[in-house]
Amino acid sequence: MLLNPRAVSHVQQLIDEGAYRMNIPWRSVKPSLEAESRFLDAHGLEDYSRWYLAIDPAVPEDSPARYQWPVGDFRNVHRSGLIAARDLAAQHAADEVQTAADDLLFIFDRLTAC
Residue ranges covered by each domain of the chain = 2-112
| Mean predicted confidence (pLDDT) in 69-80 | 96
List pLDDT tens digits, range 6-49: 999 999 999 999 999 998 999 999 999 999 999 999 999 999 99
Per-residue confidence band for 99, with pLDDT thresholds at 50, 70 and 90: very high
pTM of the model: 0.93
* Diameter of the chain measured on Cα atoms: 44
User: Which amino acid is residue 15, in one-letter code?
Assistant: I
Q: What gap in Å lies between CA 24 and CA 76, rounded to an integer?
A: 11
